[in-house]
Amino acid sequence: MTHKLLVPLVVVGLVAGAVSAEQPQKAGPQADSRTAGAISVDEATQLTNGWALLAQGLHAQAAARAARLLAAHPRDGAALLLAAEVDIARSGAAAGLAQYERWLRQRTLEEPLVLRRIAHAVLREEAAQRQDQTAQVTALRALADEGETAAARELAAIASSGRVATRALAALGDERAVAALVAGLDQEPAGGVAAMEALGSSGSTLAVAPLIARLADSRIEVRGAAAQALGRLGDMRAVAGLKPLLSDTHAYVRAKAAGALLRLGDDSGVTLLQEMMTDPSPTTRIVAVEEMASRPDGSWQAVTRELTAAQEPEVRAVAGRLIAPFEPELSRTVLASLMKDPNPAIRDLVTREAGEIVVNDLTTLRAQLKSSDRLARVRAASRVMALTR
């Protein structure tokens, strides 16, 4: 497995040939001019040699050196970083994470530098895979945002490799991808719903006019997707096109239009959404609370909390995601329970819903690094990188 060490540590490691751990150290008062709080000469030498062994591909020897250091200094972050790096080099990010969690055990504080290194390894692995292009593109974008020019070059190379890559790049705000997606919108399958979702996440003004045009489409799902995307873009030019949809023949479209207008600061559809929140059907209520989420008052929270106990697992999943900023423990309980559902489609839905929650807790993100869903792992790793800059 090819392996790229952290630059400062490579520099240290490459000089290890001049400093052997087995060499006796000079004795006497002049042996070491370091201050009392500095790392010992022996520990520095052991670390330096460990990194040198790793740089030479001698993983077993480097692992043994790291193990000895951790045995002598169980709480030493530098020794832990070496141990995790060795496991990443030998077996990948998951092995590095396992090493870290063995070290962590019952500790309540994370070691941000080591967790950051593991997250970086996750992003590199996902950027290299070809099974899930959305996860790949998202990982490459995160690496490019960290200043990695190779990732930026690869992003440019795959920009026109297909619909999935174009959508993923557009959703991340790439203007060339947005332009390409807009130009090919009429050729997108299923009325372009997936493409419109990406455009809604793009933040690009290029998407506004094409989305407004699709508010008049004959298909319910297209009108609803266009309305939702315009609400997320936040461009006031959409208001005039959205208001007529408050009288649409289909409740789904009316709700999406009302929610979009609310995000744009227009209250025209608030009464409609409030009425839907009292509907006997949980599926109707969940649509309403999702569209009212931009204005979460007390009644909204009460209905959303109630829906976390709905009979329908799909409803509980969405409610669990929506309640997260207000009742995080309830959200975690609901989503964790649904992850045990025997239906894989429900588990996939929960993974997607959990991925929409903005998490600022390294411990929660660490757990998400072990997700079976590639995109969920990438999102968690990207968030770790952002929080530990």
Angstrom CA distances, 43 to 13, 22, 36, 50, 78, stand at 13, 12, 14, 10, 10
233 within some domain: no
Q: Are 88 and 121 in contact (CB under 8 A)?
A: yes
Q: Is the dihedral of CA 357, 362, 364, 369 positive or negative?
A: positive
User: 99 lies in a domain?
Assistant: yes
CB-based contact 224:252 (threshold 8 Å): yes
**What is the C-alpha separation between 214 and 196, in angstroms, rounded?**
10
Whether 85 is covered by a domain: the verdict is yes
pLDDT of the chain, 389 residues: tens digit per residue? 444 444 344 434 433 443 343 444 444 444 455 565 566 888 888 899 999 999 999 999 999 999 999 998 888 889 999 999 999 999 999 999 999 999 998 788 899 999 999 999 999 999 999 999 889 999 998 999 899 999 988 888 887 677 888 888 898 888 988 999 999 998 888 889 999 999 999 999 999 999 999 999 999 999 999 999 999 999 999 999 999 999 999 999 999 999 999 999 999 999 999 999 999 999 999 999 999 999 999 999 999 999 999 999 999 999 999 999 999 999 999 998 998 899 989 988 888 888 788 788 899 899 889 988 899 899 999 999 999 98
- Enclosing domain of residue 42: 7-24+37-115
Q: How many whole angstroms from its chain centre is CA 389? A: 15
Number of folded domains in the chain? 1
**What distances in angstroms separate CA 326 from CA 293, 297, 315, 320, one per listed residue?**
12, 11, 18, 11
Token duo for residue 317: 């999943």
- Asked, for residue 201, whether it belongs to a domain, the answer is no
56 domain-assigned: yes
Is residue 261 domain-resident?
A: no
CA–CA separation, 107 vs 257, rounded Å?
48
What's the first-to-final CA gap in the chain, in angstroms?
A: 27
User: Residue 285: which residues within 8 A CB-CB, separation 6 or more?
Assistant: 276, 277, 278, 279, 303, 307, 315
The verdict on residue 89 lying in a domain is: yes
3-state secondary structure of 15: coil
Structural domain contains residue 79? yes
